[in-house]
Chains A and B, each alone.
Chain A
């Protein structure tokens, strides 16, 4: 298919300039025989389609069908206990969200949660990656595994540890840190509908992001630092003008996976949290679903979440070209 487009473009353009797709052109030039879809490539296409059939079927069964069903449910007042009394109520659920103070608050809190945790996660994982990338540090392999450890431990375990650790009366935060230092005691409550536990738990899930940043740091060419030194750039300048721009794709990747965790999307390394959800809005949907039993309303909330998630992701990728450095295009 592509070769046809390519040929057309080539004949129509008088002066051909290498563009972004010039990278692809080399392989095409080597295969002049594949101008039209030959029988062979059609056969290959069918084989490919057959190979991806498991995912296609799974996508239809477990993603597309449920999503459309939940869209349909979101226009009804469906309740699990009274499935027969289901009624079509149009957009009333969606207008209901606008009037629902709890939904608005939890959404606000979720945004705040993302604004606090995601930069915190990035800062901590970047800081630790920078530290462990230092040539001076010995025993890096052990440290790396240790930093990764909280990310592979069951979510329930993480929760028990942090609940115990932060407990206002018996927890170690108050006994070992707040009291000896004369700081105000941690009361166990957070502000804005999310609490300290969720932030700490988020901080204990940075394993994949940390590894990706460490890998990116290892890939920064040493010549760039040499050139920076020659030009008289100090460590801080080298960090901001060399290191961070070069590893910005890794930072983008970490931002995306951390945001997806906040909004309840799929995770690179899922520890399985359930009874404390990923975010206040996620908790709110859970309550509407299982305690209030308003499945229709929950479905509309879920759709709002999905749209927010898509909008956020699109926004991040749209702004990426202003702050992410892509060497092959530059």
Chain B
């Protein structure tokens, strides 16, 4: 009987309404929290966007607002004079500073310029200047003029595509070998493959550099960026192998009985079932190739025409010490990977999840 009363109380409309309200508040708070967290996490990107649209003058002006702005000026007889907020007997007036002096200054009233100069007692440096929003898109135009972005992009695409084809073909073949064939000592070899992931790049750097530069004379070419890709990439091989192993063997056993060779089985049976994994791996390589600067800075430093996008942008620091240009170049450099990410996020993300977890 007690139980029944309890249920009765819980089923009362007022209580149900309260639960619904409580639930709605919870949903609202969860969404608010998610939005806030993501906003906070990405907040520095807004610094980049805002700074890239500022004029160089604003960067050194400590009074300037945080948003892109320029000082409001008043044109008087062909000259521009900045406007300040001047406290007078009639309240704060917006006056143009005509003749700045240390202890007092001459101002012009823009609304009534014919009235002549207004002398104001006080230090003009302590006045607040007047700002209006101004987006300096000319930063981007200037950057585009002075830097050969199309060439950088062409170089990067060349490296990414040729290297990408190489790394895809080799990694698919190797992953197929590990996933489907009884390779002698295959288990040990696969552990070695996973172990190579742990090798710090610094350890192999000097001998590799020596081989590429002194022996092969590849300095200044794109070959050191491309050729190693044709030997596969351990992480991509691992991801592909995990995926191939999750594909049922039945169809390729059947194909084998029908007389299909290993390559035919790979191309007609395995690959069509592994498209999402291959797309993921291709994208991982694309992001890597687009952003890579360690190899590029080692071998392309002497060949400015061969710069890749990320390396070129890294070099801007010495060309353009001013922050606005730096941030504008950063925005241009990240545009392509960002756009690609948003275009492909569906297939890319889902699959990284699935393949990554199968370790």
Residues of A within 8 A of B (CB): 1, 41, 44-45, 47-52, 54-59, 61-63, 65-67, 69-70, 73, 127-128, 131-132, 134, 136-138, 141, 143-150, 152-157, 160-162, 164-165, 169-172, 175-176, 200, 208, 211-212, 214-216, 218-219, 249-250, 253, 260, 263-275, 282, 285-286, 289, 295, 298-299, 301-303, 305-306, 309-310, 313
B174 touches A52 (CB 8 A): yes
Smallest CB gap from A299: residue in B = B206
Q: Is the CB of B51 within 8 A of A164?
A: yes
A-contacting 9-mer, from B2-10, B32-40, B123-131, B134-142: B32-40
Q: Which residues of B (331-345) have their CB < 8 Å from a CB of A?
A: 331, 333-334, 337-338, 340-342, 345
Nearest-CB residue, chain B, relative to A295: B206
Question: Using Cβ atoms and an 8 Å threshold, which residues of chain B touch A310?
Answer: 195, 198
A136-B31, A215-B356 given; 7 more Cβ-contact pairs under 8 Å: A48-B178, A54-B170, A59-B231, A148-B345, A154-B310, A214-B353, A285-B202
- B residues less than 8 Å from A260 (CB atoms): 197-198
Chain A residues, Cβ within 8 Å of B334: 153-154, 157
Q: Are A161 and B26 CB-contacts (below 8 A) given A55-B237, A306-B203?
A: no
CB < 8 Å neighbour of A155 from B293, B309, B346: B293
Interface of B is mostly: helix
Residues of A within 8 A of B294 (CB): 272-274
B44 within 8 A of A: yes
Q: Which of B210-227 contact A (CB under 8 A)?
A: 210-211
Residue-by-residue, is B48-60 near A (CB-CB < 8 Å gives 1, otherwise 0)? Answer: 1001000000010
**B199 near A265: Cβ-Cβ < 8 Å:** yes
Q: Are B31 and A160 in contact, with the CB atoms below 8 A?
A: no
CA A176 to CA B189, docked complex, whole Å: 54
Within the complex, what minimum Cβ distance (angstroms) separates B218 from chain A? 13
CB <8 Å contact, A128 and B37: yes
CB contacts (< 8 Å) of A55 on chain B: these are 170, 174, 193, 231-232, 234, 237
Question: Nearest residue in B to A309 (C-beta to C-beta)?
Answer: B198
- Bound-state Cα–Cα, A233 to B260, Å: 56
- B231 contacts which of A49, A62, A134, A208 (Cβ < 8 Å)? A62
Q: CB distance B293 to A265 under 8 Å?
A: no
Q: A154-B290, A264-B202 are in contact. Are A51 and B262 (CB under 8 A)?
A: yes
CA distance A270 to B186 in the complex (A): 28
11 contacts between A and B (CB under 8 A): A49-B181, A59-B231, A136-B26, A136-B31, A143-B38, A153-B334, A154-B293, A156-B313, A271-B287, A272-B293, A282-B202
Given contacts A148-B345, A302-B200, contact A289 B262 (CB under 8 A): no
* Structural contact, B198 and A52, CB atoms closer than 8 A: no
Which partner residue on chain A sits nearest B59 by CB separation?
A170
- Interface contact B30-A164, CB-CB below 8 Å: no
Does the CB pair A54–B34 fall under 8 Å? no
Contact B291 A131 (CB under 8 A): no
Is there contact, CB below 8 Å, between B207 and A272? no
Complex Cα spacing A4 to B34, Å: 56
B316-359: CB near A (< 8 Å → 1, else 0) gives 01000001001100110110011011100110010011101101
Kindly state whether residue B27 has any CB partner on chain A within 8 Å: yes
Bound complex: CA A301 to CA B45 (Å): 37
A137 contacts B230, C-beta separation under 8 Å: no
Which residues of the partner chain A approach B297 to less than 8 Å between Cβ atoms?
Answer: 274-275
Contact present for B288 and A48 (CB under 8 Å):
no
Q: Is the CB of B177 within 8 A of A52?
A: yes
A49 → chain B, closest Cβ, in Å?
Answer: 6
When the two chains form the complex, which single residue of B182, B192, B235, B354 contacts A44, counting CB atoms closer than 8 Å? B182
Is there an interface contact between B352 and A309, defined as CB atoms closer than 8 Å? no
CA distance in complex: A54, B326 (Å): 41
In Å, the complex CA distance between A73 and B209 comes to 14
A111 to B8, CA, bound (A): 60
Verify B203–A176 contact, CB threshold 8 A.
no
* Partner among B26, B47, B183, B342 whose Cβ is within 8 Å of the Cβ of A49: B183
Question: In whole angstroms, how far apart are the Cα atoms of A268 and B239 in the complex?
Answer: 10
Evaluate contact between A70 and B345: CB separation under 8 angstroms: no
Which of A61, A73, A147, A263 lies in contact with B200, CB distance below 8 A?
A: A263
CB distance from B251 to the nearest CB of A (A): 16
Q: Which residues of A contact B338 (CB under 8 A)?
A: 149, 152-153
Query: Are A138 and B31 CB-contacts (below 8 A) given A45-B181, A157-B313?
Result: yes
Residues of B within 8 A of A57 (CB): 231
Partner of A161, one of B41, B183, B237, B330: B330
Docked CA distance A67–B198 (Å): 12
- Whether the pair B356, A208 counts as a contact (CB closer than 8 A) is yes
A136 to B337, CA, bound (A): 30
Contact (Cβ within 8 A) B183 A147: no
Quote the shortest CB–CB distance from B321 to chain A (angstroms): 12
Assembly CA distance A50 to B357 (angstroms): 29
Residues of B within 8 A of A56 (CB): 189
A51 pairs with B176, CB closer than 8 A = yes
Q: How far is the CA of A65 from the CA of B210 in the complex (A)?
A: 12
For the complex, give the distance between the alpha carbons of A48 and B178 in Å.
Answer: 7
Q: B200–A51 contact, CB under 8 A? A: no
Taking a contact as CB atoms under 8 Å apart, the answer to whether B30 and A134 are in contact is: yes
